[in-house]
Amino acid sequence: MWKIQNTALHKDEDSEVNKTAHIELNNEIEGIYEAKPPTRLLPHADVQFFKTKKDEAKKHKLQRKQLWVRDAKRIIETYAQLSDNTGNLTHYVYIRRRRDG
């Protein structure tokens, strides 16, 4: 049982489970690029992160794509918290540095 699950998750990018996951992540990537804050308002590290083009992000393998989506969501959520609270870019950078360690 474990071997079947492990193979489905890690070895076979073309399995039905992974194809479905790729489709869902590709849709999330579309949404992320639509919700992405203006680049000029982001710290340098976030600007560098979003230099990855949408099509490039969609070409990643499943695990890398999942990590990319997770990180992108964190950036957008942090930016949204900032704009809801104070609109202060310095505050955003402070939150980002605290979150990332």
Residue pLDDT, tens place only, 50-76: 998 999 999 999 999 999 999 999 988
Q: CB atoms < 10 A from the CB of 36, how many?
A: 16
State pLDDT tens for residues 14-23: 778 888 999 9
| Domain interval for residue 76 | 2-100
CA distance 88 to 42: 11
Number of domains in the chain: 1
Note the pLDDT of residue 38. Answer: 82
For residue 67, CA distances in Å to 2, 4, 84 come to 23, 23, 26
Binned at pLDDT 50, 70 and 90, residue 42 comes out as confident
pTM of the model as a whole:
0.70
